[in-house]
Amino acid sequence: MAGIYIHIPFCKQACHYCDFHFSTSFKYKDELLQALIKEIRLQKSYLDSETIETIYFGGGTPSLLSADEINLLTGTITGLHTVSANAEITLEANPDDMDKAKLQSLLQTDINRLSIGIQSFFDDDLQWMNRVHRANEAEASIKRAQDTGFENITADLIYGYPLLSSEKWKYNLDKIFELGIPHISSYSMTVEPQTALATFIKKKKQAAMDDQQSAEQFILLMDAMQTHDFEHYEISNFCKPGHYSRHNSNYWKGVKYLGIGPSAHSYNGETRQWNVANNAKYIQALETGNIPAETELLTETDRLNEYIMTSLRTIWGLDLNKLNSIAAGSANQLSIAARSFFDNGWIEQKDDIIYLTQPGKLYADHIASDLFF
């Protein structure tokens, strides 16, 4: 099985914290769509005829696409690949795009899962982030989607930024529970270089993020999700039983995937490649029949470290047998390196699987990097 990711690099405006590749100019949208189709065709053999189990429209803002444009892209994929009859096909969506007419039109596509970028149910927070939508649209978009017939919905929330008190954070979570959404992705606000937020902080127009606040709100998040019977199946992801994001879960499990579009990444188990993060250069390359990508051959050490990083973040844990299948003897080396984390209760082992404990989830990246080969 394998997955396909399609990057739609357009947004109405730039969120202050975002460092994904996008453009606020739609001038070359039609040309870019044609380039996406050409890349899908040129990349036909990348996944080695594996059945496609998931398709994910990310961005950017994929909900800016019309139903006809979505159908053009999915139709190209189904014409070239074997797509599972029960494939998960996700569209990332902004609340302001999800009016009744839009949702009705999506019923005429293969989209069966919506990922709605809520971020907060408070207008002052959304304005601080420079989001397009407002709080009333956030709640209304979810209700409209449910009324239209979309039950498989995930919502994004952000925590750990100066405006977000614990009381507001609890309100955001309670609102999600009240709306009956089966999946939540929640991220701590991070300050990425080259973003507006980083510039504001550097110029002292904005306070830096508070690590202690972020940790406290992450703990509050984990406790609230557990109370409402959500499974914490990846550091930033929670779901009701059976509602895992199949696409993202496959990333963490090392399943092959093909990334289409400017800045999109691909992985086939042996190599990783990434497309140029420039719309004009991407379009120009595809017009001449070239894929504008760089490729990296993954070494044994690369594969070990990638498995450590991704597996430890999940409910499925790090399988020492799989580690040894990548490099003989590596499981014993890792167990020795991990002794201090066992001793302080950050990780635990059941049979041959190592898991993060709840306290350990606060230090996931630190633990993984210390265990790298």
**278 located within any domain:** no
Residues whose CB is less than 8 angstroms from the CB of residue 221 and which lie 6 or more positions away in sequence, other chains included? 159, 169, 173, 186
Is 281 a member of any domain?
A: no
Q: How many domains does the chain have?
A: 2
C-alpha–C-alpha distance, residues 183 and 64, integer Å: 23
Below-50 pLDDT ranges, the chain: none
Query: Cα separation of 33 and 342, whole Å?
Result: 50
- Which CATH number is 344's domain given? 1.10.10.920
**Predicted local distance difference test score (pLDDT) of residue 142:** 98
Indicate whether 115 belongs to any domain.
Answer: yes
Residue 66 falls within a domain, yes or no?
yes
What's the pLDDT score for residue 34? Answer: 98
Any bridge partners for residue 314, and if so which?
234
Residue 361 φ/ψ, nearest 5 degrees: -65, -20
Q: What is the pLDDT of residue 186?
A: 98
> In terms of domains, do 202 and 307 share one?
no
Specify whether 65 is located in the same domain as 182. Answer: yes
pTM above 0.85, yes or no: yes
